Amino acid sequence: MQGRTALITGSAKGLGKMTALALAAMGCDIVLNYVTSEQEALQLAGEIAQRHTVRATAIRADISAAEDVALLASKALSWSRTGSIDVLVNNAGPFIRERRLFTEYDAADITGLVNGNLLGVMLLDHHMLPGMRSQQWGRIIHFGFGHAGEGRAWPHRAVYAAAKTGLVSFTKTLAVEEAANGITVHMVCPGDIRGMNKERTIAEVAEERDEESPRGRPGSGEDIARVISFLCLPQSDYMTGNIVDVTGGFDPIKTSIKP
């Protein structure tokens, strides 16, 4: 992966940060993206450049705003040595943890969730695909949630679930359309990885207990980053269009509604 350039959205902290570190360790130049976490993003860019002897930069953009997506794409492409982005990891996506019925969302919430989790992702892919096509090589990763590929009902998460399950179909379609161009497209679906566990390694959580996880331990950021790293390898080119659950067996979807 030496000489490749990777753009990871929402990468100042959490799962995006761990993914950026993993791809940098593989030799990729890194474009970080943030909205409010400027200090963390700049600090991480410096850490990556020093630790892995690759280039790194940080660009502010809100993926739910089309004009910000266009600006992010323009800046990232201009910064890349080759004028293209080789690896695009669409990690950013708004999520409202508070449980709400669909009727309890206001219009701004609905629009923001759909734009941030579906439309913004599609637009960023659209900006990056011409460069990938021109070099006949590319890796695109979308983020989902456990069991997203099943399209099940998820009460209290109606808007988020609709956006992500729409992204499932888009992932599979884009994978087929772009396979002949050397571009693979996958969706990675993390389990319920919370708080600082998003930035911890497998070794750091290995001895801890999580009673909700069939695996028995909490998930970590490394669990997700390792899968993404594998899917981005040149040798993984025969895999495309997969919806990959990385959940330890945990099922986040609760389909019953109590009166």
Rounded to 5 degrees, φ, ψ at 72 are -60, -45
Percent of the chain with pLDDT over 90: 91
Domain that holds residue 149: 5-246
235: confidence class by pLDDT, cuts 50, 70, 90: very high
The pTM of this model reads 0.95
Domain total in the chain: 1
Is there a domain that residue 146 lies in?
Answer: yes
> Would you call 47 exposed, middle or buried from its count of C-beta atoms within 10 A (0-12, 13-18, 19+)?
middle
CATH code of the domain covering residue 224: 3.40.50.720
**What pLDDT score does 156 carry?**
93
Three-state SS string over 11-61 comes to CCCHHHHHHHHHHHHCCCEEEEEECCCHHHHHHHHHHHHHHHCCCEEEEEC
Is there a domain that residue 224 lies in?
Answer: yes
pLDDT for 168 beyond 90 = yes
Query: CA angle, 161 as apex, 210 and 192 as ends, to 5°?
Result: 15
| Pick from 142, 138, 145, 109: nearest CA to 123 | 142
Is there a domain that residue 189 lies in?
Answer: yes
**What pLDDT score does 214 carry?**
87
Is there a domain that residue 207 lies in?
Answer: yes
Is there a domain that residue 119 lies in?
Answer: yes
Tens-place pLDDT, residues 90-110: 999 999 989 999 999 999 999
Is there a domain that residue 212 lies in?
Answer: yes
Rounded to 5 degrees, φ, ψ at 223 are -55, -40
Phi-psi region of 211 (alpha: psi -120 to 50; beta: other; left: phi over 0): alpha
Q: Which two tokens stand for residue 152?
A: 């099940």
Is there a domain that residue 170 lies in?
Answer: yes
Is there a domain that residue 175 lies in?
Answer: yes
